[in-house]
Amino acid sequence: MTVCIVVGGIVGALWYLRALERLAVGPSAAILSVIEVVVPGAVGVLVLGDTVANGMLPGVLVGLVLAITGCVVLAMSPANEVAEGEPAPRTEPAPA
């Protein structure tokens, strides 16, 4: 189990670095943030037999939808293109 955790951490870090090389920082960070929460939660429920507390399922579903929606909004934001574009030209201060 320890080996799986270490190897998973290394692979995850390498995939994140690769994403930062190919994508803008905003979408990469948004995707990582959602995956860090959704995948372990899904593994806990589907593989390890965890359950959602009584009455909490609607909150879990709303949180999941909001997280994924936020990820999509950040990934598609026009601000990413501006941030990844050329830096703004520097202007010299006007002589006094």
CB 28 within 8 A of CB 20: yes
Task: List all residues 6 or more positions away from 81 whose beta carbon is below 8 Å from its beta carbon.
Answer: 24
Q: Would you say the pTM of this structure is higher than 0.75?
A: no
Q: What's the farthest any 2 CA atoms get from each other in the chain?
A: 72
Where are the domains positioned within the chain?
Answer: 2-80
Three-state DSSP state, 96:
coil
Read off the pLDDT of residues 31-77 as tens digits, 9 standing for 90 and up: 888 888 888 888 898 999 999 899 999 999 999 899 888 888 877 77
